[in-house]
Chain A
Amino acid sequence: QKEVEQNSGPLSVPEGAIASLNCTYSDRGSQSFFWYRQYSGKSPELIMFIYSNGDKEDGRFTAQLNKASQYVSLLIRDSQPSDSATYLCAVNKRNNDMRFGAGTRLTVKP
């Protein structure tokens, strides 16, 4: 079992729709969780992080965490073509040991 699993996609949504990205992790002791966005040929950049159960909102982005189910998700509201990228889920297991999922490729069609 991989430490961090994501649906590789591709996920395609129309412009203005909600994109839902999911991630599960295997280590119950994991402390904090991150969503990164990576454009083709570029390096990953942080969108947001979450460490408490529940929802965390930042603009059009909402991260959701359920530690009991070992599940993290990212919702993107009012999706824009510029949101087209690969989204990486990252888990800080402990001691800053940061592990990434393989990423979900999102395409937002105008």
Chain B
Amino acid sequence: DAGVIQSPRHEVTEMGQEVTLRCKPISGHDYLFWYRQTMMRGLELLIYFNNNVPIDDSGMPEDRFSAKMPNASFSTLKIQPSEPRDSAVYFCASSLQGLNTEAFFGQGTRLTVV
């Protein structure tokens, strides 16, 4: 398996533009997580899905952020409109069901909003 695949790897956009980040989890994994990492706040959980259903989106910063998982092999995180403070590395991770299963991370998308 190729692991968790994220695209794009880097994104530079202007303030006010819409940004869409994409993720393909590992086949067969039940859980998908979106994290945001900054120097100031560390690795924050934004939202996670179980079997394509959002379970907890309390980490989503505000209504400008939305996430979808239309099927088991694809998820998107959208920011509309983007702001400079959204600049961060966004990680997608997936895991199997179970308390002792690790989360496997994608390579991340480095987002810069200018």
Contact = CB atoms under 8 A, between A and B. Distances in A.
Nearest to B95: A96
Contact of A31 (B91, B99, B105): B99
Given A43-B91, A43-B105, A45-B105, A98 B45 contact: yes
Given A34-B102, A51-B99, A92-B99, A44 B50 contact: no
A99 B45 contact: yes
A32 B56 contact: no
Interface of B: 30-31, 33, 35, 41-45, 48, 50, 55-56, 91, 93, 95, 97-103, 105-108
Contacts of B31: 96
A99 B43 CA distance: 8
Contacts, number: 61
B45 A51 contact: no
Nearest to B98: A96
Interface string A21-34: 00000000001101
B107 A43 contact: yes
Interface stretch (A11-19, A58-66, A73-81, A100-108): A100-108
Nearest to A49: B100
Nearest to B31: A96
Would you list the 3 A-B pairs with minimal beta carbon distance, nearest first?
Answer: A102-B42, A43-B105, A100-B43
B76 to A, nearest CB: 19
Given A46-B102, A102-B43, A97 B107 contact: no
